[in-house]
Amino acid sequence: MKYVPIPIAMLEVGRPLPIDIWSDTGQLLLKKGQPVVSEQHRDKLHAFNASSTPGDAMAWQRAYERMVHEMLRDGVDVQTIAQAPMPSRIREVDYVAGTALSGGWPDLQDVLRGILYQGGLAINPLSRLDGMARTVLKLLEADPDDALFRLFQMLGDNSLGYCSTHALLTGTISLLTADKLGLDPSVRRSLLDAALTQNIGMARDQDSLSRQNAAPTEWQRQLIADHAGRSADTLHHLGLEDEDTLDLVRWHHKPLHPEALPRNRMARRVLATADGFVAKMAARKSRTPMPAISAAKSIFAAAEGEAATVGGAMATSTGFYPPGTYVLLVNGDTAVVAQRGARANAPWVIPVMDKNSMPVTVYTCRDTHDPAWALVTPLNFQSVKVSVSADRVQRARARMPKA
């Protein structure tokens, strides 16, 4: 049998283990219910390359992801979550194959966050990341506007954890931009894989920074400066061999670096631009998030050559007012953008709050190209105090007149 290495550093001394632990040669080291009794005992597990069966490994990983989700939901501090050990209980449902990716974008976000938080200690992550990328491609092909809507809505909710939302949204925008630029289809998968994992070297710290009131410390600035190389090294350690993905991850902050692979130059520009674009729109305790059109201008306004080409393709791919973001209409209504329009500056929207700040109960799509529903200005997430149902938005879009 092929055994899967376990995250030994995340085992809590004295806490019963929920699975049998084996050496990589098949020798039973600990039976289910027994604990690691000391740090010396932990060292011995390292010496024997402590592992588990593939089924137990996947179930334990799912239990960890659920634990992280519940801690975030309950408002537990990110630093506390970062120090949490592997759970001592695995539910029966954790052993059901395929449940991790059955719930669409929110479920993808949960699973990816768990993998990114564990970093180099993640259990069998490459096969899970592969399944995740396949699901992203499938969902994006089925309905790109719904993908953008749900991800931009997640970006406005800091309680979900920023690192995985950033990764999924950066990947989605990168793919749409690559299509607009006509990049070779072979590039798309490496571009997505890189977007999902580019920050695996600092995912927990990325979430901490998003909730931090003060500017980054000197140590945090150094971590940010080093994280691209650290992420590439982590992925290589986990067994990733695709040199294009590793290249994109390592140089996503320095797309023109002389050591980078020449064939990926345009893809690196796309990833670097999408990374910065999403970061500027993200909610922070230390600053107000930018509306998409302001973020685009701050990045693309002075761009020339290839940078301008990538910026223009990205702006038209998402629209100046992407699905899932908010706008003020000429009649005083607050609306959520439901779908990109024929022009980048004229999306379809759904009014969700009237001029008197009362919720609109019936979701109806309106074309902002119509002067009666003209768009006045974008709004940031923090200024809108109304809950929006993504499923009701999707149903309203289905009632739109066909072009």
Question: Which two structure tokens, joined as six digits, stand for 344?
Answer: 């980048």
pLDDT at 244: 94
CB count within 10 Å of CB 109 equals: 23
What value does the mean pLDDT take over residues 281-305?
A: 78
Residue 96: pLDDT band by 50, 70, 90 thresholds?
Answer: low
Does 80 or 191 have the greater pLDDT score? 191
Sheet holding 348-353, edge to edge: 366-367, 348-353, 334-339, 326-329, 375-379
Q: What is the pTM of this model?
A: 0.81
> Residue 100: pLDDT above 60?
no
pLDDT at 390: 92
CA angle 346, 349, 353 (to 5 degrees): 135
> Residue 331: pLDDT above 90?
yes
pLDDT at 31: 93
CB count within 10 Å of CB 379 equals: 17
Residue 97: pLDDT band by 50, 70, 90 thresholds?
Answer: very low
Q: Which residues pair with 327 in a beta bridge?
A: 335, 378
> Residue 228: pLDDT above 50?
yes
Residue-wise pLDDT for 334-393, tens only, equals 999 999 999 989 999 999 999 998 999 999 999 999 999 999 999 988 888 888 999 999
Alpha carbons 216 and 377: distance in angstroms, whole number: 31
Residue-wise pLDDT for 104-158, tens only, equals 898 899 889 989 998 888 887 888 898 899 899 999 999 999 999 999 999 988 7
Residue 68: pLDDT band by 50, 70, 90 thresholds?
Answer: confident
CA atoms within 13 A of residue 71's CA, in its CB half-sphere: 20
DSSP 3-state of 358? coil
CB 34 within 8 A of CB 63: no
Residue-wise pLDDT for 334-349, tens only, equals 999 999 999 989 999 9
CA angle 135, 138, 139 (to 5 degrees): 85
Burial of 213 by CB count in 10 Å (0-12 exposed, 13-18 middle, 19+ buried)? exposed
What value does the mean pLDDT take over residues 78-99?
A: 78
pLDDT at 127: 84
What's CA 246's distance to the chain center, in Å?
18
Alpha carbons 241 and 237: distance in angstroms, whole number: 9
Q: Residue for token digits 């283990």?
A: 17
pLDDT at 93: 67
What value does the mean pLDDT take over residues 292-308?
A: 81
CB 127 within 8 A of CB 379: no
For 56-81, letters b (16+ CB in 10 Å) and e give bbbbbbbbbbbbbbebbeeeeebeeb
pLDDT at 231: 94
